[in-house]
Amino acid sequence: MLDCSKNWYTFLVVLLALFGCITAAPSNYRRPTRVGLVCCESVSKAIIPQHIKLTAYKRQNALKPCVEAVIFFTQNEKYCSDPTARWISKKMKDRRPTRVALVCCESVSKAIIPQHIKLTAYKRQNALKPCLEAVIFFTENEKYCSDPTARWISKKMKGLKELTD
């Protein structure tokens, strides 16, 4: 004769184990890392004091969420200045323009970008703090930071336009 309580117990253990496997699986899935935009979202007309040692500047175009700005750089900071402020042109004459990227990957992912995401271009990023070495893939609205050592990278780059600074 069958022992129903023993079969019920075995069924419950198997069911719980199966449930545990199913719920644990999604936590291992790693999504591609989206790019954080490093840009000025607001500006100031305030004069940057003379004692602050500026090293370079960059003009930034308005492309949401970024606003039109002149970004002045020190060794460790950036100052978002209003390009219409009167003092701007004098400060710009005293320094050299820089080619600081407005897009910066501070983290990267080896996760494969799914096929349904339509990539339009890519850009190689060098490691200049706080940015890491990366391949940035672009869609119409998004940017993805990918680890350049990931095996699938070269395959994804084929047929895409390479953007340069």
More confident residue, 114 or 23: 114
Name which residue leads in pLDDT, 3 or 40: 40
Residue among 121, 131, 138, 144 nearest 100 (CA): 131
User: In this structure, what are the phi and psi dihedrals at residue 162, rounded to the nearest 5 degrees?
Assistant: -90, 125
pLDDT (tens digit per residue) in 16-64: 666 655 555 444 445 666 655 567 899 999 999 989 988 888 888 887 7
CATH (residue range 103-162): 2.40.50.40
CA distances from 71 to 41, 74, 93, 106 (A): 11, 10, 14, 20
State the CATH class of domain 40-97. Answer: mainly beta
Under the banding of pLDDT at 50, 70 and 90, the label for residue 3 is: low
The number of beta carbons lying within 10 Å of the beta carbon of residue 135 is 22
CA–CA separation, 103 vs 100, rounded Å?
9
Tell me whether domains 40-97 and 103-162 share a fold: yes
Burial 32-63 (b: 16+ CB within 10 A, else e): bbebeebbbeebeeeeeeeeeebeebbebeee
Tens-place pLDDT, residues 125-143: 888 767 789 999 988 888 8
Q: Residue 35: its pLDDT value, please?
A: 58
Q: Record the tokens describing residue 145, joined without a space.
A: 């930071």
Q: What is the pLDDT of residue 6?
A: 64
Please report the pLDDT score of residue 43 as a whole number.
96
| 80: pLDDT strictly greater than 70 | yes
Which has more pLDDT, 11 or 28?
Answer: 11
- Distances in Å between the Cα of 4 and the Cα atoms of 8, 10, 13 are 6, 10, 14
Domain ranges of the chain: 40-97, 103-162
